[in-house]
């Protein structure tokens, strides 16, 4: 029996208004334009910033680092650690949320 494959699916998920593939270069340029238009300054607005932000909030929302490693496509945890650099306030929040000492205090 032959397997049926629907060939009408687009090759690319993200397209420009003209139907062309949205390349990383075009996406990056658009982000910079939106940042200028929105008067965003003092923070880098880039696809890489989105990636870092996703990684950080994935962990902060309870995602495990091993799944994140797979999602990001990294072969080692060293790179994942760089992506998920936590600020002291983030670490404090996570500690308060998950510390075993919290149970002793009940």
Structure-token match 């049926």, residue found: 4
Task: Report the pLDDT value the prediction gives residue 28, as an integer from 0 to 100.
Answer: 92
Q: Over its length of 106 residues, how does the chain's per-residue pLDDT go in tens digits?
A: 455 555 565 677 788 888 888 888 998 999 999 999 999 999 889 988 888 888 888 988 888 889 999 999 989 888 888 877 766 677 777 778 777 877 676 6
Beta-ladder partners of 57: none
The token pair that represents 28 in the structure block: 């990056």
Question: Other C-beta atoms within 10 Å of 71: how many?
Answer: 13
pTM for the full predicted model:
0.62
pLDDT of residue 11: 76
Could you give the dihedral angle defined by the CA atoms of residues 89, 94, 99 and 103, in that order, rounded to the nearest 10 degrees?
110
CB atoms under 10 Å from CB of 69, counted, come to: 19
Q: How far apart are CA 105 and CA 91, in angstroms?
A: 20
Burial of 94 (0-12, 13-18, 19+ CB in 10 A): middle
CA–CA dist 69, 20 (Å, integer): 30
**Domain definitions of the chain by residue range:** 8-45, 46-104
């Amino acid at each position: 029996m032959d397997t049926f494959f629907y060939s009408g699916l687009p090759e690319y998920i993200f397209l420009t208004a003209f139907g062309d593939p949205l390349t990383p270069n075009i996406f990056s340029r658009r982000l910079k334009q939106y940042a200028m238009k929105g008067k965003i300054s003092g923070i880098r607005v880039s696809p890489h910033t989105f990636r870092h932000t996703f990684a950080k909030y994935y962990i902060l929302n309870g995602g495990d680092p091993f799944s994140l490693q797979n999602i990001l496509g990294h072969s080692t945890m060293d790179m994942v650690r760089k992506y998920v650099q936590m600020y002291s306030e983030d670490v404090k929040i996570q500690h308060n949320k998950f510390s075993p000492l919290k149970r002793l205090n009940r």
